[in-house]
Every structure is written in structure tokens, then in C-alpha cells.
Amino acid sequence: MADTVDAATRSRIMASIRGKDTKPEMVLRKSLHARGFRYRLHGKGLPGKPDMVFRRFNAVCFVHGCFWHHHEGCRFATTPATRPDYWLSKFEGNQARDKAATRSLQESGWRVAVVWECDLKGDGATTTAERVARWLESDQTTFHSDDGFAPSEEASVVETSS
């Protein structure tokens, strides 16, 4: 039957299913905590249950797995060869939920950050945490950790690599 997945896919799926305290998220949490930021976890009662809630900054942060949330243009956003239709509709559902949650949070006055797991891998983690920290203290309403790869409306904070 066609409903099995290969070993690599399975292990990636299992890693994702472990869920809330996956390692990349822990890296970000530790780093922000070390910088003095305090937050609550898994904001219950808030749309999309943000991974971190920074009440003092009126901000929430989602850490998105690139596979499950189908990070556009990301090498980790693969679609399993088996039952691609199933996966694509699953990804679409996840993305639609992400969008709805963000919209609803913003309508309630929350600032919303999305950090992709690929931006928390290896050396990039420190830079990403630093950018989130700066965003928290800014007055920008949104943050996307992959902004460097796409045109951004936040032109004033675009970083130049030297």
C-alpha cells in the first residue's frame, strides 16, 4: 500500500510531532531569557496558542517548523513523495490556520513574530534571537525571521551585511 513513508520522512515527522518543546524553540527561549526577557508559554486562550507571550511588550511569538508550516522557499519544506495531495492539503490547512491566528491576534492589538526553525539552526540561532530581542523593544507590529530573504515593508530596519 502507498500509505507508508520512508525512514527519513518518518523521523522528521516524529521529531515534529514531539511538539511544543522541540529543540530549536528551546534555543530561542533560553537565549531570550538570558537577555532578560520574560514570557509565558503556549498562550492558552489566545488564537493559535502562541509559543511565547510577552505581555509587557504586547507581543507574541510563534516558532514554526518549516516542514509542517511549509516554509516557502525553504529546503526543509519538503513534500513527501507518497500521497503528495494529502500533504499539500495538510500544509495548506496549517498555513490557513496560521494566517487566521495572526489576523485575529493583530485585531486584538497583539504584535506578532514568526520565527522559522531553520533560522534557529546552528550559528544562526544567536543572530535570530538578537533580532527578536530588538523587535520586542521596537514599535514594529510584525516580525518574520526570514525577512532577509524577501522584500520587506520594514525598510528602516533592513540589515546590510558587511
How does strand 59-64 pair with strand 142-144? unpaired
Residues 116 and 146 sit within 8 Å (Cβ to Cβ): yes
Q: How far apart are the first and last CA of the chain?
A: 53
Q: Rule CB under 5 A: say whether 12 interacts with Zn ion.
A: no
What is the per-residue binding string for Zn ion in 105-124, x denoting contact by CB under 5 A? -----------x-x------
Nearer to Zn ion, 5 or 74 (CB): 74
The stretch near Zn ion (CB under 5 A) out of 3-11, 52-60, 64-72, 154-162 is 64-72
Element (H, E) at 33: helix 23-34
- In whole angstroms, the minimum distance from the beta carbon of 139 to Zn ion comes to 27
Nearer to Zn ion, 36 or 122 (CB): 122
Residues 50 and 43 sit within 8 Å (Cβ to Cβ): yes
- In whole angstroms, the minimum distance from the beta carbon of 135 to Zn ion comes to 18
Helix residue ranges per DSSP H, 35-155: 84-107, 124-136
Q: Rule CB under 5 A: say whether 74 interacts with Zn ion.
A: yes
Q: What are phi and psi of 139, to 5 degrees?
A: -110, 15
Nearer to Zn ion, 18 or 44 (CB): 18
- In whole angstroms, the minimum distance from the beta carbon of 66 to Zn ion comes to 3
Selection from 16, 137, 103 nearest residue 65 by Cα: 16
Q: Rule CB under 5 A: say whether 71 interacts with Zn ion.
A: yes
Residues 66 and 91 sit within 8 Å (Cβ to Cβ): no
What is the per-residue binding string for Zn ion in 20-59, x denoting contact by CB under 5 A? ----------------------------------------
- In whole angstroms, the minimum distance from the beta carbon of 118 to Zn ion comes to 3
Coil, strand or helix at 102: helix
The binding site for Zn ion (CB under 5 A) comprises: 66, 71, 74, 76, 116, 118
